[in-house]
Amino acid sequence: MGNGVSLAKKKAAVPSAAPDADESGGAADLGQLLSSSGITKVVLIRHANAAPRDPEAAAVEAGTVLKPNTPFANAWTVGDLTRDLTDKGREQASAAKGWLDAHKLKGVITSEAARAYKTKDIMAPGASTLILHTLHPSRSGTPECEKMFDTLGYGTMNTYFADRSVPGCEGRGRAIFRTYQSKVTRELHQLIAEGLAEKVLSGEGDTVAVFGHAVFLNAVAIAVSEAMAIPDAEASVAVLELGEAEGIMCDAGQRSIHLCKV
């Protein structure tokens, strides 16, 4: 999947380098790009309720997709990526469309997972769309994050920061997710820059909606808020638990972070 960045139906991904705090495309560059392009709000939206994983697809994956050297990083692959929304999920997304409609979208970024993409289709129909593969746990390229998620499941970032139960990750949750945040900051910078250059992000709005998956979206919210220079970004996001079809709004104009929900 490369570095997890692609223009929807337009541009293939390219290989990524290891995280480097001094590399271009870091938090300062992302913040400058958002500001210069008039993007003052980024809302990170968890997908709506989805059907369970298909056990037949999971069985196929076990023999053909899973990689023995990264067992946790591939615990959610084909069978997870293809999970559809339930009737409950479609109702959640339809209701959540009301709060998203209060914001003027410049464009949308989504995980490749069907449940994220279909939540986007209901909440932001017709919006210009970019794909960021690494929003999905199996595509994040950070096996320790995925190992923690496989063990701990949903919760706040503070839960992950404090955890000492996951073998090999004891007490390192903050540092482990910082690796992911560094990676996704660079990828967002690349994706948004390409989207602007190719006029995929061509709307006059000031908001970008990002559809993905809990915990990983929380980490992205910290990265985006820090790029926007919002005070106390980590502390503000780390206490939030993101529910289905709920969003974390990072607002540079108001210098604030808050939950969006019905």
Q: What is the pLDDT along the chain (262 residues), one digit of tens a residue?
A: 334 455 554 433 333 333 344 467 899 999 999 999 999 999 999 999 999 877 676 666 655 555 555 555 445 566 788 889 999 999 999 999 999 999 999 999 999 999 999 999 999 999 999 999 999 988 888 989 988 998 899 999 999 999 999 999 999 999 999 999 999 999 999 999 999 999 999 878 999 999 999 999 999 999 999 999 999 999 999 999 999 999 999 999 999 999 999 9
Q: 3-state class of 54 per DSSP?
A: coil
pLDDT of amino acid 76: 54
pLDDT of amino acid 122: 98
pLDDT of amino acid 23: 60
**What domains can be seen in the chain, in order of their start residue?**
5-50+86-260 (3.40.50.1240)
Q: How many CA atoms lie within 13 A of 107 on its CB side?
A: 24
pLDDT of amino acid 49: 97
pLDDT of amino acid 19: 39
pLDDT of amino acid 87: 98
- pTM of the shown model: 0.88
pLDDT of amino acid 73: 45
Task: Say if residue 175 is exposed, middle or buried (CB neighbours under 10 Å; 0-12, 13-18, 19+).
Answer: exposed
Contact predicate 3/184, CB 8 Å: no
Contact predicate 27/223, CB 8 Å: yes
Q: CA–CA distance from 144 to each of 74, 110, 256 (Å)?
A: 12, 22, 30
